[in-house]
Amino acid sequence: AAGSDRGAAARLSALDDELSRLKGEQQVITEQWQREKADMSRVQDLKEEIERVNIEIAQAERDYDLNRAAELKYSTLHNLQKQLRAAEETLADKAKEPGSGASKMLKEEVTEQDIAEIISKWTGIPVAKLVESDREKLLHLAGELHKRVIGQDDAVEAVADAIQRSRAGLSDPNRPIASFMFLGPTGVGKTELAKALAQFLFNTEDAMVRIDMSEYMEKHSVSRLIGAPPGYVGYEEGGQLTEAVRRRPYAVILFDEVEKAHADVFNVLLQILDDGRVTDSQGRVVSFKNAIIILTSNLGSANILEMTSLLKNDERAAKTAIKDLVMGQVSGGKDPSRETYTLVATSGAPLGPLGPHLAPYSVMSCSGTPLRETPMQMQMQVQTRATRHVPGKGAFPQHLMGIVEFSRPGQKPAEAIR
C-alpha cells in the first residue's frame, strides 16, 4: 500500500508539473496572439479610416466645398497614410525577426498555401501536389522507406524504382502509378511498406485504402467493391472501393490476402490494372491513375520458409530459388488473362537471429510503446541491451518478402536513372 501511495504521489507531482508547464505555454501563446491582433487591428483601423476620408473628400468635391476637400486630402489623409506606412513597416520588421515566420499565429493575406490546403480537403489531393514539384522528394524515396521497413533492401529498391519510373513519365499514363504484389509470410513488412508509401507520397497514412479480400470469398461479394446493381439494397451507397477512391483519388490501395477472393473479383482488379479505371454501379467512371495498387498474399509462404531453411548458408542461391518459386506461384493461376502481364520479382534478404537489422528493428518497434502507455499513466525506458535481447527471443530466420511488379509484355521496366 505504501508503494502504491508513493507511486500515486509521484504521478500527482508529475501532473502538477505538467499542468504548470502547459499554463506557462498558454500564457506565452495568449500574449503573442494579443500582440499580433493589436498590430493587425491598428493597420485595419487605419485602412478603414483612410477609406472613410476618401469618401468625405469625394463628397466635398461634389459639393464644391474645396477648402474642406483640400484640408482632408493634404492634411488628414496625408497623416493617416503616413501612420499606415509606419504600422505596415512595423509588421514587416516583426515578420523578419528570426523564428517569427514559423510561429506567426495571425496573417492578413490569404496565401497560396491556404488555398491549397482548402482545395486539398475538398479533393483529397495532397497539398504537395498542388504547390510544389515532388522531383527532389522522389529522389530520396528509397532512403525514407528504408527507415520504416527494416531488412527488405531489395524489395524497397524495387518499389522505389517503379515509383520513380512512373514519375519520370516512363510508365503508361492511363494505368495506375504502379501495381505490385507483395508475397511473404505474416510479419515481413508487406503492410508496413504500403503504409510507408502512403505516408511519404501522400503525406498521411490515411491515404491507404485497405480492402480485406477474405471478405470477398463469395461470387456476389464483388458488388461490394463497385456497388450493388440498381434495385438492390445499398444501391445508393456506392462501392467500398469505388467510393473510397472517388473521394481520395491520390491513395495507396491495398488488397490484403488477395488469394482468398473469389475469381470474379479478379476481373475487376484486372480492369483496374489494365485500364486504370472502373465504372461503378451508378455509371460513374472512377479513375485509378493517381493511385498505387498493392496486392498482398501469403501464396507459397510455406515453400518459401522451407527453401530458406535449406539454403540458409547460400543467400544468393536462396534468392534465385525463391524468385523462381514466386514467379511460378503467381503465374500458375487459373485465369489465362493473368499471363498478359510480365512479372518482375525480387526477394528480400533473410534476417537471421543475429542479423544486423534486428537491433534497429527492435528499437523502432519499441519507440511506439510510450504513445500507448500515456493514457495508462505508465512510463518505460528501453535499454540498449534489451534491444539485443528481444531479437533472439522473437525473431525468425525466415524473414523474406517477394515483390511482383505488373507491367505489359514488351514494356519491361528500364533501369532507374540515378
Give the separation between CA 265 and CA 217, rounded to whole angstroms: 9
Query: Which among 96, 119, 105 has a CA at the least distance from the CA of 30?
Result: 105
CATH class given for the domain over 2-103: alpha beta
133-351+396-407: CATH, from 3.50.50.60, 3.40.50.2000, 1.10.3720.10, 3.40.50.300: 3.40.50.300
Domain ranges of the chain: 2-103, 133-351+396-407
CB 300 within 8 A of CB 326: yes
What pLDDT does residue 349 have? 43
Measured CA to CA in angstroms, residue 283 lies from 227, 229, 242, 279, 353 at distances of 10, 10, 11, 6, 54
Kindly indicate the confidence band of residue 309, based on its pLDDT and cuts at 50, 70 and 90: low
Confidence of residue 131 (pLDDT cuts 50, 70, 90): low
pTM: 0.62
Q: Residue 402 above 80 pLDDT?
A: no
So what's the pLDDT on residue 417?
Answer: 38
Per DSSP, what are the bridge partners of residue 346?
Answer: 403
Q: From the CB of residue 417, how many other CB atoms can be counted at a distance below 10 Å?
A: 9
Tell me which residue of 322, 347, 261, 337 sits closest to 297, measured CA to CA: 261
pLDDT band at 34, cuts 50/70/90?
confident
339 — pLDDT class (breaks 50, 70, 90): very low
Name the burial class of residue 216, with classes exposed (0-12), middle (13-18) and buried (19+) by CB atoms within 10 angstroms of its CB.
buried
Give the pLDDT of residue 115. Answer: 83
pLDDT higher at 300 or 102: 300
Q: Cβ distance 265 to 255 under 8 Å?
A: no
Q: Same topology for domains 2-103 and 133-351+396-407, yes or no? A: yes
For the ranges 140-144, 296-300, 320-324, the lowest mean pLDDT is seen at 320-324
| Residue carrying C-alpha cell 524497397 | 156
CB 160 within 8 A of CB 145: yes
Burial-class residue 114 by CB neighbours within 10 Å (0-12, 13-18, 19+).
exposed
| Nine cell digits for residue 330 | 503467381
Angstrom CA distances, 112 to 87, 108, 117, stand at 24, 13, 9
When mean pLDDT is compared across 97-101, 158-162, 238-242, the lowest value belongs to 97-101
Q: How far apart are CA 72 and CA 70, in angstroms?
A: 5
Burial of residue 369 (CB within 10 Å: 0-12, 13-18, 19+) is exposed
SS (H, E, C) the chain: CHHHHHHHHHHHHHHHHHHHHHHHHHHHHHHHHHHHHHHHHHHHHHHHHHHHHHHHHHHHHHCCCHHHHHHHHHHHHHHHHHHHHHHHHHHHHHHCCCCHHHHCCCCCCCCHHHHHHHHHHHHCCCHHHHHCCCHHHHHCHHHHHHHHCCCCHHHHHHHHHHHHHHHCCCCCCCCCCEEEEEECCCCCCHHHHHHHHHHHHHCCHHHEEEEEHHHCCCHHHHHHHHCCCCCCCCHHHCCHHHHHHHHCCCEEEEEECHHHCCHHHHHHHHHHHHHCEEECCCCCEEECCCEEEEEEECCCHHHHHHHHHHCCCCHHHHHHHHHHHHHHHHHCCCCHHHHHCEEEEEECCCCCCCCCCHHHHHHHHHHCHHHHHHHHCCCCCCCHHHHHHHHHHHCCCCCCCEEEEEECCCCCCCCCCC
Band the pLDDT of 19: cuts 50, 70, 90.
very high
pLDDT at 55 over 90: yes
Beta bridge partners of 39: none
d(CA 376, CA 79): 62
Checking if the pLDDT of 147 tops 60, the result is yes
Measure the CA–CA gap between 110 and 320, rounded to whole angstroms.
57
Average pLDDT score, the chain: 75
